Amino acid sequence: MLRFVNLTEIQNMLLKVSELTDLQDLRDFNYVEKTKRWLSDLEKILENNRMIQAGEIAALRGTIFSAENGIFHDGVEFLAKPTKRKMVEAAASAAIRQATRLISNMLQEEIARFAEAERLVRQLIAIGKAKGLLQQIPENGNHTETLKNIWRMISLDPDIAPGAVNVEGLVGPYDALILLDRIIVADITRQNNNH
């Protein structure tokens, strides 16, 4: 189970694919090296999160090394006899495609879990506001303490406490506070834009 910060870190790595594709399109000489660096960085993030997909990313990086040594894996067709550079670039492109597919598929369940938790937190805030619970929160200048107090008020109310337990079961207490913060900030921003 990924924490929110780790999920975001992996999603940010996927956003970098566009930069790599631009380098490929520009036929930039750094394309292959930057692709290997991206795969290596992605692999480290997955290792740090104890995710077995790190091994698959390492294997994809290995296909680029193989291509650089003149060993090319099947699956790509060339219209003419390929140069070594084209073979290596094709291996890099295939590695990016496979890594992106692998990570996107892996993250689907995590994204769905956080989306469900966010939906529940939004409902808890709405119910808390309707019950007047959130008007009783003291603002002491410490944003984290204020969030903890809001979550405590929600968690202690017998009518909505089961919802708070569900949220913590989905994402844990730390990420529950992050989602609470994101939703409150989004609601405040939306309210300020409407006035």
Q: Where are the alpha helices (DSSP H) in the chain?
A: 4-15, 17-25, 31-48, 53-68, 84-130, 143-156, 161-194
Q: What is the pLDDT of residue 193?
A: 59
The full set of domain ranges for the chain reads 4-109, 113-194
Alpha carbon of 102 to those of 64, 67, 159, 192: distances in Å?
17, 21, 41, 40
The pLDDT value given to residue 79: 55
| Chain Cα centroid distance, residue 70 | 35
pTM of the model: 0.81
Q: What is the pLDDT of residue 134?
A: 78
pLDDT on residue 120: 97
**What are the 10-residue block averages of pLDDT along the chain, 195 residues in total?**
94 96 94 98 97 96 91 60 85 96 96 97 92 75 86 93 97 96 73 57
